[in-house]
Amino acid sequence: MNKWFKHIGLAIALLFSAVCLANGGDELANQVQQSDAQIWAQLKDGVQGYTASKSEFHAQPINTYDLRALELRSDWLAPALMAALFGMIIIFILFIKVNGISKLHHGFSGKMVYRWSKFDVSIHWLGAIPCLLLILTGLVLLAGRFFFQPYLGEGVWAALVNGAKQVHDVMAIPFMLGWALMTVLWAKNQLPKMYDVKWFMVVGGYINFGPFKGKHPDAGFANAGEKMWFWAFALFGFVISASGMLLLFPNLFEPSRTLSLIALILHSVSAIVICAFSIVHIFMATVMSEGGMECMVSGYCDENWATQHHNLWFDEIKADGTLKYKE
């Protein structure tokens, strides 16, 4: 019997201890809530504490900003990026179904004309490959929780967004390097000319029906469409690089919460523009223009492609003796 009494006594003691701990836990929770409320009241009254931070914002423990920035990002920019990517792809597919591609009227000549150096081809892909990865990962980071997360499991979504963040951060550096090199080295061939207006008026000669059919407007080394893409890439590439640096290295720049939100909005807007232009550029180079992709693979283009799409440039290199054929 004594043994049973000991067990019962031990059980009662443990139960009493658990009740005491529970009551103590509730009391501790109440103390924490009261402490939080007191700190919050003091902060609202302007009370300042001490911090070892040297940031200009170290005395601002509460960030204030316009919540409409977050609404703009979720309600407008996220759907806009989705539309820029998938919308432009759908538009081009429908356009090609109706219009067809731009074929070489005289077929391939078999003679390849030197157009881009190996270094130019390299810096193109240095910017292009990271750009594509940044678009895809940026789509996950900006719009994923609105369009993808509801259809994925929690673990899958967590892995996806973590992977996207890592790839996005790493690919930012080569993209910025490629952007800087292309902008500086290629700008001289991208200056607008008067004949570019006519190029736009006949849609570059890519329309295969109506009054536009068979039109091949004058174009120099770069046609008007390529120039528009280049300057959009140069401008919005600068914005996306500057805002990206601010977001990527917050400890270096120590931006305020408001400045970070502004950078995030500008980053998203620039991404939407670059995404839309990139889809157009990719379709024009790979599908729409027969023989166009070869330029950025080998650096050479077919002679008939050069005379049909960049006649002024081809005439110029013939006249000044810089025309070179692939041996």
SS3 state of residue 310:
coil
One-letter amino acid identity for 230? F
Contacts of 190 (CB under 8 A, 6+ apart): 222, 226, 227, 230, 231
How confident is the model at residue 17, as a pLDDT?
Answer: 47
CA 298 to CA 121: how far, in whole Å? 8
How confident is the model at residue 210, as a pLDDT?
Answer: 80
How confident is the model at residue 37, as a pLDDT?
Answer: 75
Q: Walk along the chain (327 residues) and give the pLDDT tens digit of each residue.
A: 445 445 445 444 444 444 444 444 455 556 656 676 777 777 777 776 666 666 666 666 666 667 777 788 888 999 999 999 999 999 999 999 999 988 888 899 999 999 999 999 999 999 999 999 999 999 999 998 888 888 988 899 999 999 999 999 999 999 999 999 999 999 999 999 999 999 999 988 888 888 878 788 999 999 999 999 999 999 999 999 999 999 999 888 888 778 888 999 999 999 999 999 999 999 998 888 899 999 999 999 999 999 999 999 999 999 999 999 998
How confident is the model at residue 71, as a pLDDT?
Answer: 81
Angle between the 88-99 and 257-283 helix axes, to the nearest 10 degrees?
Answer: 20
Phi/psi of residue 215, each to 5°? -80, 130
Tell me how many helices (H) and strands (E) the chain has. Answer: 13, 2
How confident is the model at residue 318, as a pLDDT?
Answer: 95
Q: What single DSSP character describes residue 290?
A: T
Find where tokens 């170290």 sit.
58
Contacts of 1 (CB under 8 A, 6+ apart): none
Residue 279 contacts residue 92 (beta carbons within 8 Å): yes
Tokens of residue 271, six digits: 């991404």
CA 134 to CA 274: how far, in whole Å? 11
Find where tokens 């990026």 sit.
81
